Structure 1
Amino acid sequence: MPEPTPVTATQKCIALVAHDNKKNDLLEWAAFNLAVLQKNALIATGTTGHMLQRELQLTVSCLRSGPLGGDMQIGARIADGAVDMLVFFWDPLEPQPHDPDVKALLRMAVVWNVPMACNRATADFLISSPLLHSGYERRMPDYSARRP
């Protein structure tokens, strides 16, 4: 089991992901929350991250595109305790060729108790939470009893 993410009062690692039909929604949300996002470490799947760099001049660590393994890379970082919050605007009405990866990413966020927003309203609540700027330490679940 990973150690809790060391957190500081000033910066969190926020992962940003958006499906094609939701990229404009994420861009609009990010523009509205630009000042807060600029104060945090950002990682994103490739296409989403490059869009945020190009359109908003945000500093983003870009991983692979979602269908090429980017969702899995973010999921691995969650499992390693390196992500403090996930903003994932996914499209529930459009089938995704990498749907198993999408479900795995969502599962990792739940398994490792990472706050996750899948729509604008939830993202607004998370990004404006006073806990975002505090020394909040996420409680890591203990799965040792589940081992055979």
Structure 2
Amino acid sequence: MNIAFIAHDKKKDDMVQFVTAYEKVLQEHTLFTTGTTGQRIMDATSLKVHRFQSGPLGGDQQIGAKIAENNMDCVIFFKDPLTAQPHEPDISALIRLCDVYSIPLATNMATAEILLKGLQRGDFQWREIVKGKEAEGKSRS
């Protein structure tokens, strides 16, 4: 599965703690992050991540593009609801894309844990079916 991780500045420590706790589960998947979040994850774990730009420089939009191309299976985005973000429209667009394309999205640690527990159980197999059907449709075109 392709999993994206994004964290606002005040939530980066929480993200590193969360990813460290689930490192064994995550090492079986392909991980994508925005810039600084990815660096912090790589510094704290042995996980390999594909880093996009930082959020304010377009990283949120790069992850959004992966969602629109059906190349992202889950997004874990630790938002800071108490601090205004200069790139709020990008954040809203990313959340909207998750809703449009039915991509599971966690915006806090409690929901992220539920998603990863489901991932461990195999609850995300439906994503493979969706990708397979899309590939079939493209090959018929």
Q: TM-score, normalised by structure 1?
A: 0.82
Who is 2:72 aligned against?
83
User: Deviation of residue 139 (structure 1)?
Assistant: 5.5
Who is 2:82 aligned against?
93
Task: Find the aligned partners of 1:139 and 1:37 in 2 and give their Cα distance.
Answer: 21
Task: Find the aligned partners of 1:57 and 1:21 in 2 and give their Cα distance.
Answer: 23
- CA RMSD across the alignment: 1.5
Who is 1:146 aligned against?
none
Query: Using CA pairs below 8 Å that are at least 6 residues apart, which structure has the higher relative contact order?
Result: 1
Task: Find the aligned partners of 2:108 and 2:7 in 1 and give their Cα distance.
Answer: 10
**Quick one: which amino acid aligns to residue 131 of structure 1?**
G
Task: Find the aligned partners of 1:77 and 1:70 in 2 and give their Cα distance.
Answer: 11
Task: Find the aligned partners of 1:27 and 1:53 in 2 and give their Cα distance.
Answer: 9
**Quick one: which amino acid aligns to residue 57 of structure 2?**
L
**Quick one: which amino acid aligns to residue 39 of structure 1?**
E
Who is 1:144 aligned against?
none
**Higher share in helix:** 2
Point out 4+ residue stretches in structure 1 off by more than 3 angstroms. Answer: none
User: Deviation of residue 57 (structure 1)?
Assistant: 2.4
Task: Find the aligned partners of 1:63 and 1:88 in 2 and give their Cα distance.
Answer: 14
Task: Find the aligned partners of 2:75 and 2:125 in 1 and give their Cα distance.
Answer: 18
Who is 1:28 aligned against?
17
Of residues 108, 118, 126 in structure 2, which corresponds to 1:136?
Answer: 126
Who is 1:3 aligned against?
none
Of residues 113, 118, 124 in structure 1, which corresponds to 2:102?
Answer: 113
Task: Find the aligned partners of 1:76 and 1:135 in 2 and give their Cα distance.
Answer: 22
**Quick one: which amino acid aligns to residue 36 of structure 2?**
T
Who is 1:37 aligned against?
26
Sequence identity percentage: 42
Number of equivalenced pairs: 128
Gaps of 5+ in 1: 1-11, 141-148
- Confirm or deny: 8 A CA contact 1:113 1:139 kept in the other structure: no
Gaps of 5+ in 2: 132-141
